[in-house]
Chain A
């Protein structure tokens, strides 16, 4: 991976918990739409 791309990924690490929580909400909404 390019240096710039890896540096951008590194800079996301402090915010990773919030990104993961946001993804969890998206998957939960998908599940409700499909399976409920």
Chain B
């Protein structure tokens, strides 16, 4: 049988190949080459399954680090987050990299891995700078003030982590209920779930790939009155107050920096549950946000913390770069395949991740876990 040119992935989207070859492959190759070079300079040899990484003091095959980057980057970028919530517990408990160097290494990973998603969503037109700008600026302010909050009003941080944990458990439950609700409504009504289902079924019947979101459907800015922004995606509109976005970004940034974690696990549930933004839209704000916040975190670790604490904690550069190479590929794959995954699946994944993260914080308050959160 001859291949139908409309059906093959490459013919369906020749730009997909070009996008990968021009944007992604050079970035991934550069990060990998840098990882090998740093490993060579730092240790004078190539660490991996036979020889231990010098700071992590562990033997891990390089393919496993790249795979960890891929699966954490993929699953988290699908829901608009960086890899931290999965990558940190996995690194500390399964791979057993649990010394001081793990925190800056994680910051390096969470800074680099969403770049695949950033470029991927940009090409898919799931991109809106008006939506991203003020929440990112809030993130910069919050991210810089977080470490000072940590040594002043949040010096006793455990009751605060319990409150964050309980909030996340509640948000996770809420998102799972929304997922079930969306699954029920997929064949009725005029909402996004129903439109996705109709589009995917129509394409499947034509023998095409079952994408529920048409290719190139952009997030448009419709109007701007004072601080009020109106955006449109697939004939649906949302009004967003830029001041609220800035304050949300600043609060999430401050809390995240004070706790020493990435901001996506807080920001995405807020956007999904409170602002009711679809997952296909909120990535336009949250992916740039997690990059900005991780960048601020790296800056804090490199310049501010040494000035306050007197010592700089170095990341395990090669480890972080190997993971980031896989993460860039994974998060790009997420950006390219998100339009095939129904909103109720994405909400279920997000609800599950949020609920698990919250449960870990709550459990850690009563029974300390074998890894640091």
Contacts and interface: CB of A to CB of B under 8 A. Distances in A.
A3 B67 CA distance: 29
Contact of B95 (A4, A11, A31): A31
Interface string B61-83: 00010010001001100100000
B349 A17 contact: yes
Interface in B1-47: 1-4, 7-9
B303 interface: no
B342 A28 contact: no
A11 B207 CA distance: 10
Contacts of A27: 64, 67
Q: Give the contact-size bracket for chain A.
A: 20 to 34
Interface string A23-36: 11001100110011
A23 B345 CA distance: 18
B337 interface: yes
Interface in B312-369: 337, 340-342, 345, 349
A14 B342 contact: yes
Given A6-B9, A27-B67, A31-B64, A13 B210 contact: yes
Contact of A10 (B2, B71, B94, B210): B210
B184 interface: no
B209 interface: yes
Given A1-B8, A13-B340, A27-B67, A7 B207 contact: yes
A16 B1 contact: no
Contact of B4 (A3, A13, A16, A28): A3
A4 B345 CA distance: 25
A6 B211 CA distance: 14
B231 to A, nearest CB: 26
Contacts of A14: 200, 210, 340-342, 345
B237 interface: no
A29 to B, nearest CB: 9
B233 interface: no
B207 to A, nearest CB: 7
B3 A6 contact: yes
Contact of B209 (A1, A10, A16): A10
Point out which of A9, A24, A28 has the most chain B C-beta atoms below 10 A from its C-beta: A24
Contacts of B341: 13-14, 16-17
Given A14-B341, A17-B78, A17-B345, A3 B7 contact: yes
5 contacts: A2-B3, A6-B9, A10-B9, A13-B340, A24-B71
Interface of B: 1-4, 7-9, 59-60, 64, 67, 71, 74-75, 78, 90, 94-96, 200, 204, 207-211, 337, 340-342, 345, 349
